[in-house]
Structure 1
Amino acid sequence: MAYTLEQLRGLVAVAEELHFGRAAARLRMTQPPLSRQIQKLEATVGARLLDRDNRRVSLTPAGEAFLREARRILALAEAAPEIAQRVSSGSRGLLRLGFTAASTFGILGQLLNELERQLPEVQIDLFEMVTREQVAALANDDLDLGLARPPFDAELFDSVLLHREALLLAVPVNHPLTTLERAVEPADLATEPLIFHSQQKARYFYDLVVSMVPLAQERVVHTVSQILTMLWLVAARRGVAFVPASATLLRIPDVAFVPLATPVAEPVELHLLWPRHSRNPALGRALRVLRETMP
């Protein structure tokens, strides 16, 4: 048989008053029921918690130890309804956020700062994933929110365009292309070794570059999935690479960036993505915060 909260409150009152009569009055009850509560509690615990005689009441060593736990349990019980209400309203809870590596270049930090400022009791767990992995995790309820690249299944997911930026060409410092007084055209790259995005692991950027910049695929010397890796290869003079404008924030030494002629001025898109049917109240609150702060 487990002890009750009423029994714990009775013990705390007697321990603080050190008098059954005063403790009973504090609890708005008579003394005999309070005495029976303490006796039942001691029987359940299996130890004497109070020493009492006709003149005084004191805690036993076991009673002192149990009193600390009783106070902790009562505090948790009293806080539980408020915690449940805050979780239900979305102001407290857990938000699992997926992001692409490139979205960390400025955007991710801004979102996290805003969420922490307005929803300080919502814990945010971060998961670095490519878009394909994020989509699968969102569909399986392993993520709540993603920073991902299009396209998405509109029947399963809702999204909002978060950021748009230009596509640039990263070249080794002092490369001849840095002396052009215009944007780089595909013809300018006819003899350049190319560092390209992986068709499997960086499909969005692969498709974007192929659709906008006609290239000879035999010029591709390296295929990688991460923009940071691309830039280090450029710094080593292994070739040139197509990167989003936000990659300039990485400030990799010995890398320069030149404008690239594209049919659309800012073709690189980053979207906020979430499942249409989510049971996480924190997601709704987070979306309201982000929608209010997004430009």
Structure 2
Amino acid sequence: MNYTLEQLRGLVAVAEELHFGRAAARLRMTQPPLSRQIQKLEAAVGAQLLDRDNRRVALTPAGEAFLAEARRILAIAESAPELAQRVSSGFSGLVRLGFTSASTFGILGRLLNELELHLPEVHVELYEMVTREQIAALAGQDIDLGLARPPFDPEMFDSRLLHREALLLAVHESHPLTELSRPVVPADLAGEPLIFHSQQKARYFYDLVVSMVPLAQERVVHTVSQVMTMLWLVSAGRGVAFVPASAQLLGVPAVTYLPLRTPIPQPVELHLLWPRHSHNPALERVLQVLDGLML
């Protein structure tokens, strides 16, 4: 359709005033140019939009239908500059967020609530990925921000600690270790069947547990990548597992969580991770909102 915004404004004015003279005065123009605008608009649309004679002006059925579209088009055109300004300033837009499955245990929801409160016009798209996948997606600009486990390449990425928590031992509720009145130490685990993190798919937790708790690897009976799977195996009496404290929120039945004696009281870390060079204005606003936030 080859019509202009001025022609649409002319139609709206005439439709609302039902008088060419008053509509022309409202638009600060004379009546003949307004009449020509309406004629050109009808030619472009291919339908008569107004019935007019010397006494009255009225919308035709086609005019009634087109008037609604004209108002919608004008509203979009008038709001477009403001929208562009808000996107350019980062107050409106899209941020694609990668997250590990374990980060959903109470962390992800609170983070999204914080962003919705302060940046209601920034839409957050979620992508569940392990840290390795997030790093590749960030490098390829497929996501803007990650909730990931260290370490990271400081030349490519910037990061900030978002959450820190304890490492716990998950045991079946009938396990004798539940009778301990102190934190579990490695000696307490002699002979215990271990449900362990995959060295390939859960490398962060694998390295963390190995560094924090000296263990005999030959006691590993199951190797898995997801905390939820570990807990269901513990619930079935298959062994004991090392999990982040937030795993308690999952509510898996027949599992008890025991404190571990570790060199660092809260060794499990979750970081915000983003590329050092991003062209997304909304990412900067999101980082400002989350600056200093510890969940």
Coarse TM-score class (shorter-chain normalised)? over 0.9
Gaps of 5+ in 1: none
Find the aligned partners of 1:57 and 1:258 in 2 and give their Cα distance: 82
Aligned residues: 295
Secondary structure of 2:291's match? helix
- Alignment correspondent of 1:157: 157
- Alignment correspondent of 1:175: 175
- Alignment correspondent of 2:23: 23
- Alignment correspondent of 2:92: 92
Q: Offset at 1:174?
A: 2.2
- Alignment correspondent of 2:47: 47
Gaps of 5+ in 2: none
Q: Which amino acid aligns with 2:272?
A: L
Name the TM-score, length of structure 2 as normaliser: 0.96
Find the aligned partners of 1:182 and 1:29 in 2 and give their Cα distance: 87
Stretches of 4+ aligned residues off by more than 4 angstroms: none
1:58-73 to 2 correspondences below 5 Å: 58-73=58-73
Q: Offset at 1:212?
A: 2.0
Farther off after superposition, 154-163 or 185-194: 185-194
- Alignment correspondent of 1:248: 248
Find the aligned partners of 2:117 and 2:261 in 1 and give their Cα distance: 40
Find the aligned partners of 2:184 and 2:52 in 1 and give their Cα distance: 92
- Alignment correspondent of 1:113: 113
Instruction: Please report the RMSD computed on the Cα atoms of aligned residues, expressed in angstroms.
Output: 1.3
- Alignment correspondent of 1:271: 271
1:169-208 to 2 correspondences below 5 Å: 169-208=169-208
Q: Which amino acid aligns with 1:155?
A: E
Secondary structure of 1:160's match? strand
Find the aligned partners of 2:294 and 2:115 in 1 and give their Cα distance: 12
Q: Do the aligned residues in 1 keep the contact of 2:49 with 2:62 (CA within 8 Å)?
A: yes
Find the aligned partners of 2:169 and 2:293 in 1 and give their Cα distance: 31
Q: Offset at 1:57?
A: 1.2
Find the aligned partners of 1:254 and 1:292 in 2 and give their Cα distance: 37
Q: Which amino acid aligns with 2:218?
A: E
What per-residue deviation string (whole Å, max 9, x for no partner) do you get for residues 200-220 of structure 1? 111100111122222222211
Q: Which amino acid aligns with 1:129?
A: M
Find the aligned partners of 1:67 and 1:236 in 2 and give their Cα distance: 67
Find the aligned partners of 2:55 and 2:181 in 1 and give their Cα distance: 99
- With over 3 angstroms needed to count, the CA separation of the structure-2 counterparts of 1:152 and 1:235, relative to structure 1, is same
Secondary structure of 1:256's match? strand
Q: Offset at 1:292?
A: 4.8
Identity among equivalent pairs (%): 81
Name the TM-score, length of structure 1 as normaliser: 0.96
- Alignment correspondent of 2:3: 3
Find the aligned partners of 1:262 and 1:92 in 2 and give their Cα distance: 44
Q: Offset at 1:60?
A: 1.0
Secondary structure of 1:78's match? helix
What per-residue deviation string (whole Å, max 9, x for no partner) do you get for residues 130-160 of structure 1? 1111111111111111111000111111110
Secondary structure of 1:171's match? strand
Farther off after superposition, 176-185 or 104-113: 176-185
Find the aligned partners of 1:151 and 1:292 in 2 and give their Cα distance: 20
Find the aligned partners of 1:209 and 1:265 in 2 and give their Cα distance: 13
Q: Offset at 1:45?
A: 0.7
Find the aligned partners of 1:72 and 1:88 in 2 and give their Cα distance: 24
Q: Offset at 1:263?
A: 2.1
Q: Do the aligned residues in 1 keep the contact of 2:162 with 2:293 (CA within 8 Å)?
A: no
Secondary structure of 1:188's match? helix
Q: Offset at 1:261?
A: 2.3
Q: Which amino acid aligns with 2:12?
A: V
